[in-house]
């Protein structure tokens, strides 16, 4: 019995079937890591770089990105070619974005990346990864300063400086209100000269002619950008002095400082300045009980007065002070020859101070006359002055600094003769020189 032979296996190469081996289908490109950088643009726009990693089993022949957004503005629905620079799997494209001139909702941008390989297979990946801000913020105002920080009472120009920044827009108007002591003084406009974020403007302060209150200046500034957004900030301070400086008497003298008993001419001089530039309205010398008005002849700061002092029974020393007043009533004083006010004695009472004014009026009387009103001319008469007629005190009927009127009783005029007349002032005054009144 014969055993059958096992069948032989015959292998036929598949390559011989149908003329060869068919290609298997290629997988589509794989797109990953899609990014948009930066993820947020300002309203002024800029460039977003779209990047993606693209891999494939065969060569990638092309890649692009299409931008879409919630606006019709460019680059909506525009496509941009992506490149890997000739090698690698990272593809990128730079996409420009314009200015967003709106105060409405911000923009959202999407990037759709498409890739094609050698077998013309396409794939796409969508990523909502970037946005663009709207501009709903006003300009920012800071650093408000007023220069100078202090002013003299007479005022002057004040410069206002402020920093105005809008990160996205252009400030179109910067200005505001100037206030003085909280009240509105006027408007001010600031400018940056077309460059930078430092804005300046000036205004003129008014003179402060008060003697008890300083003035404080400040500003309320407003900045507006080209979309109409406005910000307001108050700030800055400049203080203007009130008028506290009195006139200054830099020198004051009476020459000569002493006179002999025979009398003579004295000259009172004072150099007067007002540090605030005010007008000097009055300069008086007190020697010391009577005020003498000094004059500068209409110009200059030297004020003088010349007086003729009649003969004295004893030598006298001229002492006293000078006071200067400006046009807002502030007074400055200085001593004359070391004396202050009435502290160092008084100027003796004088009769017959000047040659042009008679010492007595009338100059004589007729014996047997009725009661006689006698006028005595001189200086340094005060309230309480009394007249000695031939040694007999007679009260004055009227007294001013340069003139006394006294009534001489008829009984004192009954006999002809030469009678002495003098004036007594109350302490610390004293007696004047004596003059002769003739009764004929």
- Return all residues near 281 (Cβ < 8 A) that are at least 6 apart: 325, 326, 327
In Å, what is the CA distance from 348 to each residue of 240, 351, 381?
48, 10, 9
- Return all residues near 76 (Cβ < 8 A) that are at least 6 apart: 67, 68, 69
Report the C-alpha gap between 78 and 57 in whole angstroms.
Answer: 29
> Residue 79 has what pLDDT?
93
> Residue 92 has what pLDDT?
95
Which residue, among 71, 136, 75, has the nearest Cα to 108 in the 3D structure? 71
136, 229 contact by CB (below 8 A)? yes
> Residue 189 has what pLDDT?
95
Which residue, among 373, 258, 260, 374, has the nearest Cα to 314 in the 3D structure? 260
Report the C-alpha gap between 415 and 173 in whole angstroms.
Answer: 99
Report the C-alpha gap between 13 and 172 in whole angstroms.
Answer: 85
Alpha-helical regions (H) of 38-183 = none
> Residue 20 has what pLDDT?
37
Greatest alpha-carbon pair distance for the chain in Å reads 215
Q: Which residues of 34-69 are buried (b: 16+ CB within 10 A; e: fewer)?
A: bbbeeeebbbbbeebebbbbbebeeebebbbbbbbb
> Residue 22 has what pLDDT?
39
Q: Is 300 left (phi over 0), alpha (psi -120 to 50) or beta?
A: left
Q: Which residues of 209-247 are buried (b: 16+ CB within 10 A; e: fewer)?
A: eeeeeebebbbbbbbbbebebebebebbebebbbbebbb
Which residue, among 150, 155, 148, 149, has the nearest Cα to 276 in the 3D structure? 155
Q: What are 434's two structure tokens? A: 């004596």
> Residue 1 has what pLDDT?
41
- Return all residues near 193 (Cβ < 8 A) that are at least 6 apart: none
Report the C-alpha gap between 433 and 153 in whole angstroms.
Answer: 50
pLDDT in tens, the chain (440 residues): 434 444 444 444 433 333 333 344 568 889 998 888 888 877 778 899 999 999 988 889 999 999 988 877 788 889 999 999 988 999 999 999 887 666 566 678 888 999 999 887 777 776 656 666 666 678 889 999 999 988 877 788 999 999 999 877 778 899 999 998 888 889 999 999 988 899 999 999 887 777 667 889 999 999 988 777 788 888 888 787 666 778 888 888 777 766 666 667 778 888 998 887 788 888 888 765 567 788 898 888 999 888 766 665 555 566 677 888 888 787 877 776 543 332 223 445 555 544 456 778 898 999 988 999 999 887 767 777 788 899 899 988 888 877 889 999 999 999 999 998 888 776 655 667 778 899 99
> Residue 12 has what pLDDT?
40
> Residue 238 has what pLDDT?
79
430, 316 contact by CB (below 8 A)? no
């Amino acid at each position: 019995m014969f055993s059958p032979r096992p069948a032989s296996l015959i292998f036929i190469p598949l390559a011989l079937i149908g003329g060869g081996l068919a290609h298997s289908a290629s997988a589509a490109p794989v797109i990953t890591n899609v990014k948009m950088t930066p993820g947020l643009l300002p309203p002024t726009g800029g460039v977003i770089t779209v990047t993606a990693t693209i891999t494939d089993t065969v060569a990638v022949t092309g890649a692009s990105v299409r931008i879409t957004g919630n606006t019709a503005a460019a680059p909506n629905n525009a496509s941009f070619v992506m490149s890997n620079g000739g090698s690698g799997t990272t593809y990128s494209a730079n996409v420009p974005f314009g200015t967003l001139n709106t105060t409405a909702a911000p923009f959202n941008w999407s990037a759709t990346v498409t890739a094609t390989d050698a077998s013309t297979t396409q794939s796409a990946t969508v990523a909502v990864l970037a946005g663009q801000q709207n501009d709903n913020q006003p300009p920012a105002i800071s650093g408000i300063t007023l220069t100078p920080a202090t002013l003299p009472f007479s005022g002057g120009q004040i410069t206002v400086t402020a920093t105005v920044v809008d990160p996205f827009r252009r400030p179109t108007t910067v200005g505001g209100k100037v206030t003085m002591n909280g009240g509105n003084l006027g408007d001010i406009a600031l400018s940056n000269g077309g460059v930078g974020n430092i804005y300046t403007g000036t205004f003129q302060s008014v003179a402060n002619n008060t003697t008890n209150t300083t003035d404080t200046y400040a500003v309320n500034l407003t900045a507006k950008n080209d979309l109409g957004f406005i910000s307001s900030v108050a700030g800055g301070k400049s203080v203007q002095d009130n008028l506290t400086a009195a006139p200054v008497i830099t020198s004051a003298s009476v020459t000569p400082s002493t006179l002999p008993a025979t009398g003579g001419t004295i000259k009172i001089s004072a150099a007067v300045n007002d540090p605030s530039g005010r007008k000097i309205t009055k300069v008086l010398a007190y020697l010391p009980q009577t005020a003498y008005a000094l004059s500068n002849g209409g110009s200059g700061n030297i004020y003088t007065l010349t007086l003729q002092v009649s003969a004295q029974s004893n030598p006298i020393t001229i002492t006293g002070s000078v006071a200067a007043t400006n046009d807002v009533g502030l007074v400055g004083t200085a001593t004359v020859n070391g004396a202050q006010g009435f502290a160092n004695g008084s100027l003796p009472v004088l009769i017959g101070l000047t040659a042009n004014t008679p010492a007595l009026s009338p100059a004589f009387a007729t014996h047997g006359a009725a009661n006689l009103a006698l006028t005595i001319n001189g200086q340094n008469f005060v309230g309480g002055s009394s007249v000695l007629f031939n040694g007999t005190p007679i009260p004055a009927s009227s007294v001013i600094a340069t003139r006394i009127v006294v009534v001489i009783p008829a009984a004192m005029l009954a006999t002809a003769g030469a009678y002495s007349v003098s004036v007594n002032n109350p302490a610390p005054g004293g007696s004047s020189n004596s003059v002769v009144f003739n009764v004929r």
